[in-house]
A and B are shown apart, each in its own frame.
Chain A
């Protein structure tokens, strides 16, 4: 709440008592639940005191973690016809940050909620979308046709600022000509980065990032923050800085003042996917966010090689014996330890877990310790109807509040084929980037759901005065280590390279190996790890990455 709104709210209160109108009673907070990554189980890694294995099972390939990276690895193995693998997952279900919930109104995301039109180099993403029937025709076409049910309906996004909604997220009304000139210059710079290629034909900022140019002047962008880079370019427009900050918080959970300039520019310059039937800034989305992509890979695996998922299993010890890898799993529901003995391990869980689990490999563990993670909060508000709206642009899929603590909300029913849905679900996002990640995690641990509910409702009350009256349920999901933070030096430093490189028996298939928690990056790492594993095992396969 800024000063102006504070003043307005005090005065509004004063006025209601002045005119003698009864202050309409504030409805009680809606019911709901507090969810989160399996904290208790996960935190047991801090003092591991698990019993000795009661069973030992041999499996040629073990995949630890069944988020997008793990599922992509399993998907590639299964597509190759290689069935001898097992995916283990701490949570009850696969999907990682792309999980979703569902109630009688709609499915709704608990994390990632869109996929930009894939770039030319995101070949594995295109292959998957073609398999799922969403990309129609040649998956390598420069402008494929996409199933319109997944192309985000118009209007895609809007911004609430100064009491009204505008189309698009870049602030427009009342922005001076000088600032608009900076907008123009910023976009021209990004356009130049989009088009730039090196002698080897690599794009300056490719998606997946591993395929980017290594030109020194580009890699040097990883040594300063995005804010410093903007200022270096004489871009100091406050509205532009807000917008870039918003973009960085939205994708990296980290603000413009902390994020690496390489990451900030990558956000704007890497996405150049096109479609025959949509503008290039259209995104692919569904009511359940990105869960359909995770489910699509899981179903593809099951269809080809059967169920290969062991869920509710905490990997608490990984040891390289020099010939094989031992993975000790705590099966919480059975209260016993299972030892997997694998020829090859694909680690597809977040890297911050590695130091707690891995025996030896001190250099890898030290590298993992240099990673920083952003804490996030996601809430799903079930609404009996669309709330009252302030004037301006009509409801969009992504609805952003200028200068708010949150990142706004996404409407789960936006893609529904109906004129105007009665009930709906709003998915509210907030990156806790205004404090250190440690403070953010502490806040997440200590804050009860009711406090979050109150804060979220009072934030959304600004554009939607009757949000409290129509919210029938408010569930909160807290994620202390939601995503890796691409801080300066992290993307093109040695630590990350260690996880991007191939290993003899262990390789990494998590988005952390790219430094970005993005679907395309996670899937690329998963497919790459699977292909490296197949190559090591001497299994013939057709690469998805060339």
Chain B
């Protein structure tokens, strides 16, 4: 029996440290400044343990039953600490710190009670020097085990919420075990057993539901209702709706808002395409949402549009979901449109087709894989697919927030011998946004638009091509595969914006 109790010391100590680490890690995740978070959490916790130890003198009778109840309380409170704190942070962010320190304090007091009680239970059978030596040995061993498992195994594989619940279950198991060990000495054992089983049930249910919890929390990251969410091998696609505003997010980055996407897509397509009355064949790279194609199909002379998008889930979604088909006017179902799900680089390299107009609508160059799609090598490849009088238009991030990135795209296009015409438009949900037209000869903005537009007029068109002082050209290196300067510019500039 003594060995069993010593083993429970090991488990209890593990759980105690685990709650402390979970609270520290959670507050560092959510509030940042990990040194402050860990210091204050550990300080508060140790202090609370001291109070718990002091309070243990007031537990005089029914030591075992009290120990069991404390275990159950620690198990439930500690087990749900991560989940509860996360909920509080997401839903009512203001009292988070108060809740954090209250939880830490409460768990600390309870954990502080545990070891003195166990020592007193064991005192009946052990000499003092053995008692202290054995109990403290297992106490510290338990702490060691968790301190190593926590970063290596638990956080990466289970996450904070489920790790917390797992340790809660361990506490409850210790309680149930003690119940069984001391079954003959306990009064009201049945009542205690019912409490224990109930605690275990609650924790197990929490553990099973932890997956749902994460998605609930994600739902709260987006202010609006999530109408569609899926993870594909390439990205996480989330569509939200608030009243009539549909929004597409890829990897948590806003791609469009249905309220003002017409500004973006008109600006992307019409300045170029409306100067090409002879255009018949159009290529769209990226842009699986079909919104650019909606604008392209307004020109009756267009005979074919080839859409190359990496992710089949995107093109599938935008050709089947009713609300999205309304938004893109079922553009992807048009007999003129051919959808190809392929890597744009690979497709351009293995295909000989040439086009009169090309829309390059990739996500912003936030990583090296996407950075390749803005490289000189890519534009050299793109150039081979342009007819003599053809134009390509490239979405080029914001010339205001990412000024050097924008002009880096221009410089890179010029480095492969293309004539560029940069311009910009205001898209309220994005801010000031930039585009670059590229071709083999000089470009003249259109004097009139032959298609319906909501944003563009011939009068405002010249202003798109004027860059105010804060967006004026700056020097930038050519973005090459062997330097990927654009990704570095982009990272630096957006970091400054977010900060």
Q: CB distance B310 to A419 under 8 Å? A: yes
Q: CB distance B148 to A7 under 8 Å? A: yes
Question: B104 to chain A: closest CB distance in Å?
Answer: 25
Closest to A414 in B: B481
Q: CB distance B153 to A277 under 8 Å? A: no
In the bound complex, CA of A35 to CA of B295 (Å): 58
A380 on the B face (CB < 8 A): no
In the bound complex, CA of A156 to CA of B368 (Å): 12
In the bound complex, CA of A12 to CA of B154 (Å): 10
Option from B149, B343, B344, B482 in Cβ contact (under 8 Å) with A154: B482
In the bound complex, CA of A543 to CA of B206 (Å): 79
Collect the chain B residues with CB atoms within 8 Å of residue A54's CB: none
Q: CB distance B343 to A418 under 8 Å? A: yes
List CB contacts (< 8 Å) of B159-192 with chain A: 166
Option from A12, A154, A279 in Cβ contact (under 8 Å) with B481: A154
Indicate with 1 or 0, residue by residue over B343-376, a CB within 8 angstroms of chain A CB atoms. Answer: 1111001000000000000000001111111001
A394 on the B face (CB < 8 A): yes
Closest to B372 in A: A419
Most chain A CB within 10 A, of B344, B369, B373, B478, is at B369
Q: CB distance B346 to A417 under 8 Å? A: yes
Q: CB distance B148 to A11 under 8 Å? A: yes
List CB contacts (< 8 Å) of B465-494 with chain A: 478, 480-484
Collect the chain B residues with CB atoms within 8 Å of residue A354's CB: none
Indicate with 1 or 0, residue by residue over A149-187, a CB within 8 angstroms of chain B CB atoms. Answer: 101111110000000000000000000000000000000
Indicate with 1 or 0, residue by residue over A292-320, a CB within 8 angstroms of chain B CB atoms. Answer: 00000000000000000000000000000
Collect the chain A residues with CB atoms within 8 Å of residue B145's CB: 11
In the bound complex, CA of A419 to CA of B481 (Å): 11
B377 on the A face (CB < 8 A): yes
In the bound complex, CA of A148 to CA of B482 (Å): 8
Collect the chain B residues with CB atoms within 8 Å of residue A156's CB: 482
In the bound complex, CA of A418 to CA of B349 (Å): 9
Question: A467 to chain B: closest CB distance in Å?
Answer: 16
Indicate with 1 or 0, residue by residue over B372-396, a CB within 8 angstroms of chain A CB atoms. Answer: 1100110001000000000000000
B497 on the A face (CB < 8 A): no
Indicate with 1 or 0, residue by residue over A269-283, a CB within 8 angstroms of chain B CB atoms. Answer: 000000001110010
Collect the chain A residues with CB atoms within 8 Å of residue B310's CB: 419
Q: CB distance A154 to B483 under 8 Å? A: yes
Q: CB distance B482 to A394 under 8 Å? A: no
Q: CB distance B373 to A8 under 8 Å? A: no
Closest to A153 in B: B481
In the bound complex, CA of A156 to CA of B344 (Å): 23
Collect the chain B residues with CB atoms within 8 Å of residue A15's CB: 149, 153
Question: B196 to chain A: closest CB distance in Å?
Answer: 19
Q: CB distance B343 to A148 under 8 Å? A: no
In the bound complex, CA of A149 to CA of B480 (Å): 10
Collect the chain A residues with CB atoms within 8 Å of residue B368's CB: 154-155, 394
Collect the chain A residues with CB atoms within 8 Å of residue B484's CB: 153-155
List CB contacts (< 8 Å) of B125-167 with chain A: 145, 148-149, 152-153, 166
Collect the chain B residues with CB atoms within 8 Å of residue A104's CB: none
The interface size bin for chain A is 20 to 34
Closest to B310 in A: A419
Option from A12, A279, A394, A419 in Cβ contact (under 8 Å) with B344: A419
Collect the chain B residues with CB atoms within 8 Å of residue A7's CB: 148
Q: Tell whether A419 pairs with B343 under 8 Å between CB atoms, given A154-B481, A278-B482, A278-B483.
A: yes
Collect the chain B residues with CB atoms within 8 Å of residue A417's CB: 345-346, 349, 372, 377, 381
List CB contacts (< 8 Å) of A1-48 with chain B: 7-8, 11-12, 15, 19
A540 on the B face (CB < 8 A): no
In the bound complex, CA of A394 to CA of B370 (Å): 13
In the bound complex, CA of A279 to CA of B381 (Å): 23
A102 on the B face (CB < 8 A): no
Indicate with 1 or 0, residue by residue over B4-35, a CB within 8 angstroms of chain A CB atoms. Answer: 00000000000000000000000000000000
Q: CB distance A419 to B148 under 8 Å? A: no
Q: CB distance A420 to B343 under 8 Å? A: yes
Question: A278 to chain B: closest CB distance in Å?
Answer: 5
Closest to A146 in B: B482
Most chain B CB within 10 A, of A12, A277, A417, is at A417
Q: CB distance A8 to B148 under 8 Å? A: yes
Collect the chain B residues with CB atoms within 8 Å of residue A155's CB: 368, 484
Q: CB distance A151 to B345 under 8 Å? A: no
Q: CB distance A148 to B480 under 8 Å? A: yes
Q: CB distance B349 to A279 under 8 Å? A: no
Question: B54 to chain A: closest CB distance in Å?
Answer: 33
Question: B402 to chain A: closest CB distance in Å?
Answer: 19
In the bound complex, CA of A279 to CA of B484 (Å): 12
Q: CB distance B370 to A419 under 8 Å? A: yes
Q: CB distance A419 to B345 under 8 Å? A: yes
Q: Tell whether A19 pairs with B482 under 8 Å between CB atoms, given A148-B376, A155-B368, A420-B369.
A: no
Indicate with 1 or 0, residue by residue over A407-432, a CB within 8 angstroms of chain B CB atoms. Answer: 00000000001111000000000000
Question: B332 to chain A: closest CB distance in Å?
Answer: 21
Question: A23 to chain B: closest CB distance in Å?
Answer: 13
In the bound complex, CA of A156 to CA of B482 (Å): 8
In the bound complex, CA of A148 to CA of B412 (Å): 14
Question: A83 to chain B: closest CB distance in Å?
Answer: 38
Collect the chain A residues with CB atoms within 8 Å of residue B373's CB: 419
Option from B149, B152, B166, B482 in Cβ contact (under 8 Å) with A282: B482
Q: CB distance A148 to B346 under 8 Å? A: no
Collect the chain B residues with CB atoms within 8 Å of residue A19's CB: 166
Question: A22 to chain B: closest CB distance in Å?
Answer: 14
Q: Tell whether A152 pairs with B153 under 8 Å between CB atoms, given A417-B346, A418-B345, A419-B370.
A: no
Q: Tell whether A12 pairs with B152 under 8 Å between CB atoms, given A419-B343, A419-B344.
A: yes
Q: CB distance B166 to A278 under 8 Å? A: no
Question: A202 to chain B: closest CB distance in Å?
Answer: 31
Collect the chain A residues with CB atoms within 8 Å of residue B369's CB: 419-420
Closest to A12 in B: B153
Collect the chain A residues with CB atoms within 8 Å of residue B346's CB: 417-419
Option from A12, A153, A419, A420 in Cβ contact (under 8 Å) with B482: A153
Question: B128 to chain A: closest CB distance in Å?
Answer: 31
In the bound complex, CA of A83 to CA of B369 (Å): 48
In the bound complex, CA of A299 to CA of B234 (Å): 41
Q: Tell whether A151 pairs with B148 under 8 Å between CB atoms, given A419-B370, A419-B372.
A: no
Question: B79 to chain A: closest CB distance in Å?
Answer: 14
In the bound complex, CA of A11 to CA of B146 (Å): 10
In the bound complex, CA of A417 to CA of B376 (Å): 12
Q: CB distance B148 to A394 under 8 Å? A: no
Question: A115 to chain B: closest CB distance in Å?
Answer: 14
Collect the chain A residues with CB atoms within 8 Å of residue B345's CB: 417-419
Collect the chain A residues with CB atoms within 8 Å of residue B370's CB: 419
Question: B438 to chain A: closest CB distance in Å?
Answer: 19
Collect the chain B residues with CB atoms within 8 Å of residue A418's CB: 343, 345-346
Most chain A CB within 10 A, of B234, B367, B483, is at B483
In the bound complex, CA of A371 to CA of B497 (Å): 61
Collect the chain B residues with CB atoms within 8 Å of residue A420's CB: 234, 343, 369
Closest to A154 in B: B484
Q: Tell whether A279 pairs with B483 under 8 Å between CB atoms, given A154-B368, A418-B343, A419-B373.
A: yes
Q: Tell whether A148 pairs with B372 under 8 Å between CB atoms, given A8-B152, A11-B149.
A: no
Closest to B375 in A: A148
Collect the chain B residues with CB atoms within 8 Å of residue A149's CB: 377
A-B contact pairs, 24 of them (CB 8 A): A8-B152, A11-B153, A12-B149, A12-B152, A12-B153, A148-B481, A149-B377, A153-B372, A154-B483, A155-B368, A277-B478, A277-B482, A278-B480, A279-B482, A279-B483, A417-B372, A417-B381, A418-B345, A418-B346, A419-B310, A419-B345, A419-B346, A419-B369, A420-B234
Extra A-B contacts (15), CB below 8 Å, given A278-B480, A278-B482? A19-B166, A148-B377, A148-B481, A153-B481, A153-B484, A154-B484, A277-B478, A277-B480, A277-B482, A278-B483, A417-B349, A417-B377, A418-B346, A419-B345, A420-B369
Closest 4 interchain pairs by CB? A154-B484, A151-B482, A153-B481, A418-B346
